Structure 1
Amino acid sequence: MTAITVSRAAQIRFSPGQWLTAGLIVAFLGLFLIVPTGTVIYTAFVERGTGTLTLVNFADFFRSELFVRSFWNSVYVSAMSVVWGTVFALPLAVLTTRFDFRGAMVVQTLGFIPLIMPPFVGAVAMQLLFGRNGTVNLLLNDMFGFRIPFMDGLNGVIFVQSLHYFPFILINLSASLRNIDQSMEEAAQNLGSSGFRLMRRIVLPLAMPGYLAGASLVFVKVFDDLATPLLLNVKDMLAPQAYLRITSIGIADPMGYVISVILIVVSITAMWLSAVAMRNKDYSTVQRGGGGMARRKLTTGQSIVAYGIVGLILLLVLSPHIGLFLLSIATVWSFSPLPDGFTFAHYGRVLEDSSVYIKNTLIYASLAGLIDVIIGSAIAYLVLRTKLVGRQWLDWAATAALAVPGVVLGIGYLRTFYGVTLPDGTPLATLWFMVVLALAIRRLPYALRSCYAALQQISPSLEEAAENLGATKVRTVRRIVLPLMIGGILAGFVTSFATAAVELSATLMLIQSNADAPIAYGLYVFMQSAAGRGPGAALGIIAVILVALCTFASHYVLERSRRLVEQSHGTRH
């Protein structure tokens, strides 16, 4: 009984440092995530003028033909983007994981590239390639006498979004296919199942968890996207309507907040439905890691068809980058399949006039990434290494940022902090550091997962051994835990940096002057006019290169750190 009592007492004994760390995290999440989001939700239920709680704002929303149409348009665009994203991702995932496909790694890498460019930038390039008077339609009209409405209205938004976000499905589906136990496929074959039947009844159902994870993420991302519909002049969707109501009528207009609440509810519902679809179903494999499915060799004819399909899909998904590069070096590109001439003058103009965008992006994204890995590492440590009461809520609260669209967070910051002023009368919401905080909150879940996974791979016995030798808790964390976590921390930082560098939704709501604007905002401003699209494309290519270099650097550092760890283990043995 005494031993049990001592054990329980040890479990509930917390150090002041743990409480202080948890308190600071709670204060950060409360002030910059929960309060702004809660303010948006509360305002949606308050009657304008009287301040009393009411549902009249939501009744007004559903009585408006524009808002109802915008809601269903957003649902339709998101669902169709998932469908077309699946069409692009499924062949690439199956061919590179199920068959002995030469160049599979290259295909997977190229399939990831669309994510490192903002979708609204790709929208401009896609108009030049697939618009009514774009390259493809001009050629079709000359040769066959008809045009295909690739980029007309909602079709254009679906086309751009499915090409941009399909890597989420590709990455998750490929991972699930690799983890399927080979023995399950062999057992099905022994029972007479083969070919398409084997794929439909065994392989794809076992890969369903990865697919649904990617598909739900695509749905939420498309549903919340603001800039792509605006640049394609499609305003009857929910996110653009929220932005237009707040910017045209003002932050006192209740409809902007009602739309924001609906955006949050749909995001949460989509994630919940994907979890419900997997409930009470067993997708486990017999072996740890599954051993992977048996890779089959392709015949010559099958190889020709497979490479043709892969080449066509990659050409499609990389077309925004190709179009953007052509636009960045074009003198004039209008009503012709290709630019009339080429020049690098746009790059000179961008580097001369828009260096402030690049500088601000480096500052904002770096600070946001640093904040994310510090908080992510702290939350991971509190959850995995302490018995602090309520520690799991820190993880859930930080992850909840995934369900808050950028436009909603921006509106929340304006509503919450605009009335808070500095001694000189400057509203707190207009400071550039608020953009950094919004970016950090938006990207915190990504960094948290990287830090969490890194700490899970570190045995607690290493820390116990250090403490048994007299090291303090702080020294153990500094000398043992953090060095071993460095790979995950760097991965989290780069993920946060790369995605924050091209974030626009929250930025568009908070930026008050060009002097404080990052690259994403500058791109949006450039792309508003035909004269600015050449320099805008040049700035877009610079943004893509910047993010790609950061991604490459992270892989290099991670690989080097992994080798150093392996060498140190080899030296010890």
Structure 2
Amino acid sequence: MERKKVTIWTSSSFLIFITYLIFLVYPIVTILKQAVIADGKFSFSHFATFFEKSYYFDTLVNSFKVSLTATLTSLIVGTVLAYLFSMYEFKGKKLLQILVIIASMSAPFVGAYSWILLLGRNGVITKFLSAAFHLPAIDIYGFKGIVLVFTLQLFPLVFLYVAGTMKSIDNSVLEAAESMGAVGLQRMFKVVLPLLVPTLLAAALLVFMRAFSDFGTPMLIGEGYRTFPVLIYTEFISEVGGNAAFASALAIMAIAIALSIFLVQKYIANRFSFSMNSLHPIQPKKTTLGKTIAIYTTVYGVIFLAILPQLYLIYTSFLKTSGMVFVKGYSLNSYKTAFDRMGSAIFNTIRIPLIALVLVVIFATFISYLAVRKRNIFTNLIDSLSMVPYIVPGTVMGIAFISSFNTGLFGSGILMITGTAFILIVSLSVRRLPYTIRSSVASLQQIAPSIEEAAESLGSSRLNTFVKITTPMMVSGIISGAILSWVTMISELSTSILLYNVRTRTMTVAIYTEVLRGNYGVAAALSTILTIITVASLLTFMKISKNNSITL
């Protein structure tokens, strides 16, 4: 009996599967084990503790309130903005889109820190309103502040999703609606929004998960308004009263909640899914003077508010500082201190994510090919596993990695990587891999299999066809996903704050710790450097892809 030949696809799928078992399944199983074992016995006591005490349960309710509200406000703002961009002509679209992307790519806690400087008890705007108009201080802290920061930081994700879908709507559909009397808001609600439902559901999931899993913003601006990720973080790292087993139980609950929301979203999205072909794309048109003024006011006003935190941080980075306060005059001392004390953090922010990005691109290219061209039960399992990090909060993944690799695999000392740069590289790769996989899959699905079959019929091996023909045709999708993976890597905090040490500290961790210490000038300088890296990355992407717009 002839043995089945082992191909590059069999071996690569096996290697990918083993990698997921070690660096994804094993960590999650480890925290699950910690969560259900109490005093050496199987028990649900840690879960019972959570539901018995309102102090703990209220944090979960708070997280749902914040996340749902931020999701709703982000959907409204992002959809309206994308609609105006697609339907009407106005100046500065390219610059505005870059600004929108910059606003979305910064870490949420940086926005929280900026708004404290602007609208906090001693904020610039607060002082101005009090001195000029004798108005009471604006309460930026708590629920309202968290929602404000999340909305201004996450609506760009909705904007990018909806703007991409608007390009697929055929203009003849809108013309038909107009001929039947549906114009203006009526056309938007009765025609455009129903066509956007699948996109809005996908965007809503992404926004909700980003808001639900973020702990930096509630930690800085929440004050007494505690959220679920903050509870998980403090329970795990607290030296007094901290409980790693209880934190693991909370982590498992976070995974269960995220998975449930993901499955519900997927079910609803499948019910409303349909395809569109745009033979006649929507052409932006001029409108009346009154509408034009309203459009400019809305678009420029919203984007100005979204970018204001970054602009103010850049400004404050050049101010002189005396201890914890800014004083009159300008100086580069904050940058000097940042490079002297945090030079390694700046270097790590480039080095660690860059290595992770290489791994992401390699794995995403193979996984997407296996998922589309070599579809079977095994490759479907790999594709499903690749989406798990998409829904698991970063704090949970950080706890899972520490619990799993502090003493090595099964306590053997093998892969004892906690505290090393390698664990940060692996965590970034695993968490940001789904972005590049999804865009690569979308790109590959547009390539006809007959092209590869033709190459093979001319004598090209399968591997040669994949390397020299298929992969180059997938490049646009790979690059698109890679830039999103890269920018989210360099702004990562929730996992890095748990996994870093002095030698592997990144800029986001450094910014966060400097804010807590009150070194606002240094924090502003580091934030500005991070913004410059983000902008440079986006401009590089546009140049390489020869694309003047970015959509999801």
Cα distance in 2 for partners of 1:49, 1:230 equals: 32
Residue 239 (structure 1) aligned to one of 226, 229, 235: 229
Is 119-128 or 133-142 further displaced after alignment?
133-142
Checking the alignment, whether the CA contact within 8 Å between 1:66 and 1:236 is kept in structure 2 is no
- The alignment status of 1:20 with 2:7, answered yes or no, reads no
Counterpart selection for 2:257 from 251, 258, 266:
266
Superposed displacement of residue 133, structure 1: 2.5
**For 1:315-330, what aligned pairs fall within 5 Å after superposition?**
315-330=304-319
Q: Structure 1 424/275 Cα, relative in aligned 2: closer, same or farther at 3 Å?
A: closer
Q: Which residue of 1 aligns with 2:540?
A: 553
Contact 2:439 2:480 (C-alpha < 8 Å) held by counterparts: yes
For 1:23, give the aligned amino acid: F
**1:169 is aligned to 2:154:** no
Mapped partners of 1:387, 1:281: distance in 2: 25
What CA deviation, in whole Å up to 9, does each residue of 1:37-67 have, x standing for no partner?
A: 2222332222x21231x32222210111211
Match for 2:54 among 25, 46, 65?
A: 65
For the residues of structure 2 that align with 1:509 and 1:489, how far apart are their CA atoms? 29
Cα distance, 1:361 vs structure 2: 1.6
Match of 1:409, SS state, is helix
d(CA) in 1 for partners of 2:232, 2:196: 37
The ranges of structure 1 where at least 4 consecutive aligned residues each deviate by more than 4 angstroms after the TM superposition are 249-252, 282-285, 332-336, 421-427
- Distance in 2, Cα, partners of 1:382 & 1:102: 44
Cα distance in 2 for partners of 1:424, 1:85 equals 46
Deviation of residue 483 (structure 1)?
2.9
Unmatched 5+ stretches in structure 1 = 1-11, 561-573
The one of 116, 123, 132 equivalent to 1:127 is 116
Aligned CA distance change for structure 1 residues 335 and 188 (closer, same or farther; 3 Å): farther
Structure 1 pair 283–186 and aligned structure 2 pair: CA distance change class (3 A): farther
Amino acid across the alignment from 1:305: A
Greater mean deviation of Cα atoms: 419-428 or 77-86: 419-428
CA distance in 2, matches of 1:546, 1:390: 39
CA distance in structure 1 between the partners assigned to 2:433 and 2:308 by the alignment: 31
**Are 1:369 and 1:494, in contact at CA under 8 Å, matched by a contact in 2?**
no
Q: Which residue of 2 aligns with 1:3?
A: none
Q: 1:103 aligns with which of 92, 95, 100?
A: 92
Does residue 1:508 correspond to 2:500, yes or no? no
1:51 paired with 2:41, answer: yes
| Equivalence for 1:543 | 530
Whole-Å Cα distance in 1 between the matches of residues 383 and 69 of structure 2?
A: 32
Q: CA deviation at 1:323?
A: 1.6
Contact 1:122 1:324 in 2 (8 A): no
1:31 counterpart (17, 22, 41): 22
Between the aligned partners of 1:327 and 1:151, the Cα distance in structure 2 is: 20
TM-score, reference length from structure 1: 0.88
Note closer, same or farther for the CA distance 1:335–1:86 as it changes in structure 2 (3 Å cut): farther
- The equivalent residue for 1:89 is 78
Judge which range, 347-356 or 171-180, deviates more.
Answer: 171-180
2:345 corresponds, among 353, 357, 380, to 357
| 2:550 corresponding residue in structure 1 | none
- Residue 538 of structure 1: how far off its partner (Å): 0.5
The whole-number CA distance in structure 2 between the counterparts of 1:417 and 1:41 is 15
Q: Which residue of the other structure, out of 206, 212, 219, is the alignment partner of 1:223?
A: 212
CA distance in 2 between counterparts of 1:185 and 1:231 reads 46
1:373 to 338, 361, 367: 361
Deviation of 1:427 (Å):
4.3
3-state DSSP of counterpart to 1:341? strand
Q: Which moved more, 1:170-179 or 1:246-255?
A: 246-255
Residues 212, 435 of structure 1: alpha-carbon distance in 2 compared, 3 angstrom cutoff: same
The answer to whether the Cα contact below 8 Å between 1:418 and 1:427 also exists between their aligned partners in 2 is yes
TM-superposed deviation, 1:198:
2.1
Between the aligned partners of 2:479 and 2:72, the Cα distance in structure 1 is 34
Query: By how many angstroms is 1:22 displaced?
Result: 0.8
What is the rounded CA distance, in whole Å, between the counterparts of 1:518 and 1:371 in structure 2?
19
**Displacement after TM superposition at 1:467 (Å):** 2.5
- Name 1:568's counterpart in structure 2: none
Q: Does 2:388 align with 1:386? A: no
- 1:472–1:275 Cα change, 3 Å: closer
Q: 2:287 aligns with which of 268, 290, 298?
A: 298
CA distance in structure 2 between the aligned counterparts of 1:204 and 1:148, rounded to whole angstroms: 39
CA contact (8 A) 2:85 2:93 kept: yes
Q: Deviations for 1:488-527, whole angstroms, at most 9, x for unmatched residues?
A: 333333322221111111111111x221211121111211
C-alpha displacement at 1:389, in angstroms?
4.3
Q: Residues 170, 240 of structure 1: CA spacing in aligned structure 2 closer, same or farther, 3 A cutoff? A: same
CA deviation after TM superposition for structure 1 residue 392, in Å = 1.6
Gaps of 5+ in 2: 548-552
Report if the CA contact (8 A) 1:463-1:481 is conserved. Answer: yes
| Partner Cα distance (1:179, 1:63) in 2 | 50
The 3 A distance-change label for structure 1 pair 317 and 360 is same
The 2-side partners of 1:68 and 1:424 are apart by 37
Shift of 1:175: 2.2
Shift of 1:186: 2.7
Distance in 2 between the 1:191 and 1:425 partners? 70
Contact 2:407 2:413 in 1 (8 A): no
Q: Does 1:407 align with 2:378?
A: no
Which residue number in structure 2 is paired with residue 209 of structure 1?
198
Q: Which is higher, the Rg of structure 1 or of structure 2?
A: 1
CA offset digits 1:13-47 (Å, max 9, x no partner): 7643222111110011111111112222332222x
Preserved contact between residue 365 and residue 496 of structure 1 (Cα < 8 Å): no
2:295 and 2:102 map into 1 onto residues whose CA distance is 21
Q: TM-score, normalised by structure 2?
A: 0.91
State the secondary structure of the residue aligned to 1:428.
coil
Match of 1:158 among 144, 147, 153: 147
Match for residue 309 of structure 1?
A: 298
CA contact 1:175–1:210 (8 Å) conserved in 2: no
Shift of 1:113: 1.3
Q: Which secondary structure state, in structure 1, belongs to the residue aligned with residue 319 of structure 2?
A: coil
Query: Identical aligned pairs, as a percentage?
Result: 27
- In terms of mean alpha carbon deviation, does 178-187 or 535-544 score higher? 178-187
Tell me, yes or no, if the aligned pair for 1:328 and 1:347 is still in contact at 8 Å.
Answer: yes
> Is 1:280 matched with 2:268?
no
Letter in 2 for 1:342: Y
